[in-house]
């Protein structure tokens, strides 16, 4: 039981560290212009956030399993080895089901958010259809981004985005933004343009 209690304490401390990493990197990705965002690039924050997310799941499992064993040790009916194995086994199955359900829902949510799969190959004509404040896509380089949710939080104001909805905003984007901003833009990526773009300005002509 000493090992179980030790596992409970260590996993709890690591869970706190993972939670802090998730919170800090999440804030940095959400607002690249903030103090946290200036301390790390979007790509670095994304990688740390991903690692912390994957570590959180096994740590949570170990911590809760250890907690269940501690509770079982204090309950007369659950003190037997068979009862404890059954308890941990049931918790293991439940955790696996929750993880599978969570990843399935996450994948569905990403597709729904972008209206298309992130690997989609799009045409300029299709992008041009998404030109309103409630459905705003832009092109930067040869990649398409759904920036609808960014309109109300854009540091440069709503109009700075609205005038380019449905168009190729490559030139104006790099005139007004840094490479760090381009990294932050990647969270809105939904697809790639089919074919090369001749004019990298505010047009939608294709080569």
- On the 0-12 / 13-18 / 19+ scale of CB atoms within 10 A, 205 is exposed
* Whole-number pLDDT of residue 196: 55
Strands, E assignment, the chain? 120-122, 131-132, 135-140, 143-146, 189-193
What tokens appear for 135 in the block?
């459905």
- pLDDT surpassing 60 at residue 113: no
Residue located via tokens 């089901």: 97
pLDDT at 33 over 60: yes
Higher pLDDT, 41 or 190: 190
- Inform me whether the pLDDT recorded for 199 exceeds 50: no
Q: What is the pLDDT of residue 206?
A: 45
Measured between alpha carbons, how far is 97 from 91 in angstroms, rounded to an integer?
10
- Using the predicted structure, report yes or no on whether residue 118 has a pLDDT greater than 50: no
Residues 88, 69: Cα–Cα separation, whole Å: 8
Buried b (16+ CB within 10 A) or exposed e, 143-172: bbbbbbebbeeeeeeeeebeebbbbbbbeb
Return mean pLDDT, the chain.
81
**CA nearest neighbour of 129 among 142, 144, 111:** 144
* Residue 22 φ then ψ, to 5°: -65, -40
| pLDDT score recorded for residue 198 | 47
Interval 45-96: pLDDT, tens: 778 888 998 898 899 999 998 888 888 888 877 778 888 888 889 989 998 8
The pLDDT tens digits of the residues spanning 144-173 come to: 999 999 898 888 888 999 999 999 999 999
Longest dimension (CA), the chain: 76
pLDDT number for residue 112: 41
User: Is residue 203's pLDDT more than 50?
Assistant: no
* Mean pLDDT for the stretch of residues 21-36: 76
Q: Would the pLDDT of 187 be above 70?
A: yes
- Mean pLDDT across the stretch 1-17? 89
Residue 43 has pLDDT above 90, yes or no: no
d(Cα 128, Cα 204) in Å, to the nearest integer? 8
Q: Please tell me whether residue 199 adopts helix, strand or coil conformation.
A: coil
pLDDT of residue 152: 86
* DSSP characters over 64-78: HHHHHHHHHHTSGGG
How confident is the model at residue 103, as a pLDDT? 66
pTM above 0.75, yes or no: no
């Amino acid at each position: 039981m000493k090992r179980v209690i030790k596992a409970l304490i260590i996993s709890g401390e690591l869970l706190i560290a993972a939670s802090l990493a998730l919170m800090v990197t999440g804030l940095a990705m959400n607002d690249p212009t903030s103090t946290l965002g200036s301390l790390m690039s979007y790509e670095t924050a994304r990688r740390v956030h991903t690692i912390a997310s994957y570590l959180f799941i096994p740590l949570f499992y170990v911590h809760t399993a250890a907690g269940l064993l501690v509770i079982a040790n204090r309950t007369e009916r659950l003190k037997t080895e068979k009862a404890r194995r059954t308890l941990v086994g049931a918790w293991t199955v439940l955790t696996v089901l929750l993880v599978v359900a969570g990843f399935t829902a996450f994948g569905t949510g990403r597709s729904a958010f972008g209206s298309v799969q992130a690997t989609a190959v799009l045409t300029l004509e299709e992008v041009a259809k998404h030109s309103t404040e409630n459905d705003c896509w832009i092109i930067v380089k040869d990649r398409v981004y759904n920036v609808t949710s960014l309109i109300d939080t854009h540091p440069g104001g709503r109009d700075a985005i609205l005038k380019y909805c449905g168009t190729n905003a490559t030139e104006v984007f790099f005139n007004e933004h840094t490479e760090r901003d381009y990294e932050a833009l990647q969270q809105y990526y939904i697809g790639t343009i089919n074919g090369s773009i001749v004019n990298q300005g505010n047009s939608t002509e294709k080569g």
